[in-house]
Amino acid sequence: MTFEQIQRNAIAEWEALGKSKKPRIYVGTATCGRLSGALKVLDQIKAELEQRNIDAEVIEVGCIGCCYAEPLVDIVKPGHPRICYSNVTPEIIPRLIEDYIINDNPRSDLALGTIGDGSIDGIPKLFELPMLKPQVRIALRNCGYIDPENSNHYIANGGYSGLVRALKMTPEEVIEEIGRSGLRGRGGAGFPTATKWQACRDAPGSEKYLICNADEGDPGAFMNRSLLEGDPHSVLEGMLIGAYAIGATQGYIYVRAEYPLAVARLRTALKQAEDYGFLGDNILGSGLSFCIEIEEGAGAFVCGEETAMIRSLEGRRGWPYPRPPFPTTSGLWGKPTTINNVETWGDVSAILQKTGEWFAGYGTENSKGAKTFALAGKVIRTGLIEVPMGITLRQIVYDIGGGIPDGKDFKAVQTGGPSGGCLPTSILDLPVDYERLTAAGSMMGSGGMIVTDSDTCMVDLAKYFLSFTQAESCGECVMCREGAMQMLEILTDITEGRGKPEDIDLLLELGEAIKLGSLCALGGSAPNPVLTTIKYFREEYEAHIKEKRCPARACKNLISFYIIPEKCEGCLICLRKCPVNAIMGGKRMIHVIDQGKCDKCGICLDVCPTKFDAVIKVSGEQLETPEEPIPIGSWKKA
Amino acid sequence: MTQFTRSRGDLIPILQKVQEVEGFLSPEAVAEISRFLDISENDIYSVASFYAQFRFTRPGEHTIKVCLGTACHVRGGERILDSMERELKIKTGQVTDDFKFGLERVACVGCCALAPVVVLDEDVYGKLEPVKVKDVLALYKKRS
């Protein structure tokens, strides 16, 4: 079959689905949806349809990114717009099917928004919602929209037309097109993609490799997983275009073993692409031959670093090696190798399907296009977002994320994962692009974005990230191996009340030394969370060191729990729930916490009924309480 | 082993397959792989011990993975891990004496909206509170 025939068939299938007289039900079953119970919802839908003898199409799709509203179910009735329902449970399915599919009540109370033409009273348009309106969907263009296991859905929506267009150009022209788009690596460092490709193309040798970096290891980041699960073909198409441009014959996708669904969907997509002749020998009659293998990573964060990844693919310890020579001249098995991130490949296919100029129409002067972020932490609407470069952090946190839950105050946003930094309120109006984030002390990184509020201790957060990078340090460079351990010890001392006044300067000195003395980006950026928190939240470090006080009341060794004698009603709830029997009391007796026994789990605070609100967490102060339980009402302060 | 080639590039996929089937990498398995690939056992241990995925001891019947990704961290993941350690009387990375539970910490399972999260075998417990940890474990203590 020619590509035109394949495309015609795919469009016919897609249009038939749109014109179908049957109702269609889309269920978001990416990992995030599944973890929220989407598969139980799916089973319930199938059972309900069968029981009521309703002929409907049930289609599994990826994630549109509204994680806070998962599981998501979309229903389309012929002649009506697609309605997206949020927080769907199996229990609600029978009512929803009866009310909307059988009787014409669209249940606007359960709906999040409508998608496509037309409108329904009482339901806003989904893409007009504050969460979605500022977003631009380039890499995520199909996620949540098409069935990722049906290649015809992808092809009918422009899929593989980018490859076909590229094959009609010369490899140099393809690289020029990427150059015009201004695309820079989405894995975090932001190296210009066209420059990397050109170097690999120019490198001598006929055997060249191409790698898709899907070893998304940052804690709190799931952009790549979502793209692989929601639209695997867009990544494969990008790789094929790259292979043609640089002259590679073999590609690898190095994907985290912790992403089983992404691996399964990739395998399905690879098989489909082979069947259509998009992979293998003489692709679409162009003379291009290219194969892709999937390699599952074995759980080493450092393997996200390109030279460590190459070692790992060669069956060795994932130890980075010095550059130059860069992988573009000497990479896998010593051959020229191009490594790009999942999102970069997804952008590449979009650019070739449209044009480089179109992509460059988004973004800032030096950072073009859009970037995906995993927005999480203390924010109302957590989710996966794709925003144009240049958007401000404030727009992301407040417009898209909806602000901070429980009426608390914003404290900082952490970007770039363990390699990035914590940015305070004063930086909220910073436009997001590669240079500006770096200048502020953080970095773009792969796209983890964690919002923190007044309950988050910045010293503890810095310690958290450093303990992660310290544990993941491969141990090759002395500064990273030993220096990070020393920094972690100092931070541990500070958070446990043993900090010394000179510690802050020592941390700064060590941090700068580790950045200089490490071979790879892991060590080179590991001190960033510590350095930025000292830069922007130095007073929190000083409170820990000088006053032995944790202002956020988060560091276990610096906090105490007390039962307020005036408020305790002697209900026994906390006493029964305390796992270490540290609470003394009796019915109608004022309860007292034995501070020596208390292991500060905070369960008493969690379980004390809101109407009493008698448990308090303090840091740096003591509360006067009875020595032992006394009857309620008999308490008098000394 | 027939699905693999005798090349070094297949070492990690082989280790993964063996662990998938047997649950861990036994000394016997490592010796077998050493003969198959003609790579010394030392070399294989050097590679296997580098990667967090590989274990050299028998896992517990139920594996508890407490997520300590950044979102779970800021929403109290450590408190959940502390509660697990206290209830099971083991430290993270250990297995209970009766091999019933193994406790692990993981860096992000990717459902940050549900933080803090625990994955127990295939089951996901989101927005978990320390006070509920005991009840969750009780569900599995009964199962054989």
Pair A389, A528 in one domain: no
Among residues A453, A487, A516, the one where a domain terminates is A453
pLDDT over 90 percentage in chain A = 91
Show residues of chain A in contact with B10, CB under 8 Å: 315
Flag whether pLDDT at A629 surpasses 90: yes
Q: What pLDDT is recorded for position A217?
A: 84
Whole-angstrom CA distances from B28 to A439, B10, B17, B58 are 53, 19, 15, 13
Chain segment A280-338, per-residue pLDDT in tens: 999 999 999 999 999 999 989 999 999 999 999 999 999 999 999 999 999 999 999 99
Pair A384, A405 in one domain: yes
Pair A75, A106 in one domain: yes
Chain segment A481-517, per-residue pLDDT in tens: 999 999 999 999 999 999 999 999 999 999 999 999 9
Nearest to residue B124, comparing CAs of A229, A64, A33, A464? A33
Region A181-199: mean pLDDT is 95
Nearest to residue A58, comparing CAs of A71, A70, A69, A47? A47
Confidence class for position A439, pLDDT limits 50, 70, 90: very high
Chain segment B23-73, per-residue pLDDT in tens: 999 999 999 999 999 999 999 999 999 998 999 999 999 999 999 988 889
**Amino acid letter for position B63:** T
Interchain CB contact of A343 with B (< 8 Å): no
Comparing alpha-carbon positions, the chain A residue that sits nearest to B110 is A222
Confidence class for position A397, pLDDT limits 50, 70, 90: very high
Question: To 10 degrees, the CA torsion angle through A278, A280, A281, A286?
Answer: 20
pTM above 0.90, yes or no: yes
Nearest to residue A308, comparing CAs of A246, A215, A243, A224? A215
Domain boundaries, chain B: 8-48, 62-142
Pair A436, A463 in one domain: no
Q: How many distinct structural domains can be found in chain A? A: 5
Pair A490, A620 in one domain: no
Query: Does the B62-142 domain belong in CATH 3.40.30.10?
Result: yes
Interchain CB contact of A28 with B (< 8 Å): no
ipTM of the complex: 0.89
Flag whether pLDDT at A245 surpasses 60: yes
Whole-angstrom CA distances from A400 to A73, A394, B37, B93 are 21, 9, 53, 38
Flag whether pLDDT at B144 surpasses 80: no
Confidence class for position A417, pLDDT limits 50, 70, 90: confident
Mean pLDDT of all residues belonging to chain A? 95
Flag whether pLDDT at A69 surpasses 80: yes
Alpha carbon of B64: minimum distance to chain A alpha carbons (Å): 15
Domain assignment of residue A141, yes or no:
no
Chain segment B85-135, per-residue pLDDT in tens: 999 999 999 999 999 999 998 877 877 778 899 999 888 898 999 999 999
CB contact under 8 A, A601 and B86: yes
Domain assignment of residue A192, yes or no:
yes
Q: State the best of A229, A316, A342, A599 to mutate against chain B, taking most chain B CBs within 10 Å.
A: A316
Q: What pLDDT is recorded for position B16?
A: 95
Pair A482, A502 in one domain: yes
Domain assignment of residue A148, yes or no:
no
Comparing alpha-carbon positions, the chain B residue that sits nearest to A599 is B82
- Report the C-alpha gap between A177 and A173 in whole angstroms: 6
Region A70-79: mean pLDDT is 93
Q: Three-class SS of residue A57?
A: strand
Pair A389, A487 in one domain: no
CB contact under 8 A, A378 and B9: no
Report H helices in A365-452: 393-394, 434-439
Chain segment A520-579, per-residue pLDDT in tens: 999 999 999 999 999 999 999 999 999 999 999 999 999 999 999 999 999 999 999 999
**Amino acid letter for position A279:** L
Domain range holding A509? 458-546
Pair A196, A262 in one domain: yes
Indicate which CATH number applies to the domain containing A305.
Answer: 3.40.50.11540
Flag whether pLDDT at A371 surpasses 90: yes
Beta bridge partners of A339: A211
Chain segment A606-620, per-residue pLDDT in tens: 999 999 999 999 999
Indicate which CATH number applies to the domain containing A511.
Answer: 1.20.1440.230
| E-strand stretches of chain B | 62-67, 101-106, 118-120, 123-125
